[in-house]
Amino acid sequence: MNDLELPVTVGVPLYGKLVFGMSEDSAYAAARRGDFPTIKIGGLKRVPVRVALAKIAGGDPEVLKAMTADFAAKLNEMMAEEAA
């Protein structure tokens, strides 16, 4: 995965952790409140990454670009740590 390649969706706990520094419980509570968008696939709640980041960016393309790069960097770092 290169720096700006993002998965289409991620789990609620991962999104909450990478974007807001939330615990798993806090992330699920935020998702239930609608604080970030989710979709349900089978029995799993997933966060559509680009949609969720765009919502936070509020329509500002520069903010979205920076948030996308930040999310990708954090995800890549986490995956590298897990692989080590």
Boundaries of every domain in the chain:
9-83
pLDDT tens for the 84 residues of the chain, in order: 444 689 999 999 999 999 999 999 999 999 999 999 999 999 999 999 999 999 999 999 999 999 999 999 999 999 999 998
Helix axes 61-83, 49-57, angle to 10 degrees: 140
3-class DSSP state for residue 45? strand
- Inter-residue contact 46 to 9 (CB < 8 Å): yes
The count of C-alpha atoms lying within 13 angstroms of the C-alpha of 58, restricted to the half-sphere facing its C-beta, is 1
Q: What is the pTM of this model?
A: 0.89
